[in-house]
Amino acid sequence: MIKSKIKIRTRYMPEGLKILYDDRDIIIIDKSAGLLSVKSNYEKEKTAHFLLTNYIKKGNPRIKESLFAVHRLDRETSGILIFAKSYAIREKFVEQWTTVEKKYLALVHGTLKEKSGIIESYLAEGKDYRVRRVENASEGKLARTKYKVVKEFKKSTLLEIELLTGKKNQIRVQFSEKGHPLIGDSKYGNSIKGRLALHAWSIKFKHPHSDEEMYFETKIPDCFMI
């Protein structure tokens, strides 16, 4: 882990997230499950963006900088999330995003026959906001997901997943269609309780200002090691 350039003020740490790194250009957090990344039509304040903005202002009430989400995580997904402190820095991230290495951890139902591989399918979102696989390539977008088994339990499997593309609900849809829905997934599985077992575990990228190689990794959630 890389040491933060700006002192992390634990006194003002917002509930629902942990700050991993902070400098003049970016701020990186570990978001808890259940917290939105940015505001929506139905929620304005219980978001990582809103809480981080307040955190920065408490350190310096006169500060004028705005935060820009570099990427987003589903509300139910925990893990690493990056915000840029200027639009220019965000745009530099966008330019290099295809080279950013993002790895997730997922706990799925059952035992996979193939212990590693790449899942490829074309996905499209329906009018009901559910994403599904489509056979006709012209009707969807190509989604590619690389995975390998980390640990097998009696009725579930812990996977390390690398997104080769970034489509909406990609991991959840592809493993559901493979017959191994994520534990806690009420949308693409049959779970009715418990958190979604999907965690943005690590990320590797070049700093958009200094070009320094950056790598961050978070702790595996305890509930994944059942």
What sign does the dihedral 50-168-92-10 (CA atoms) show?
A: positive
Asked whether the beta carbons of 48 and 31 are under 8 A apart, the reply is yes
Spatial CA neighbour of 149 closest among 176, 115, 175, 181: 115
Rg (CA), the chain: 18
Asked whether the beta carbons of 93 and 84 are under 8 A apart, the reply is yes
Name the amino acid, one letter, at 212: E
Helix/strand/coil for 179: coil
Helix/strand/coil for 44: coil
Alpha helices in the chain (DSSP H): 48-59, 87-96, 170-177
Start-to-end CA distance of the chain, whole Å, equals 26
Catalytic residue among 23, 30, 74, 185: 74
167's tokens: 């489509």
d(C-alpha 124, C-alpha 141), whole Å: 7
128 assigned to active site: no
Asked whether the beta carbons of 5 and 24 are under 8 A apart, the reply is yes
d(C-alpha 68, C-alpha 56), whole Å: 13
Catalytic residues: 74
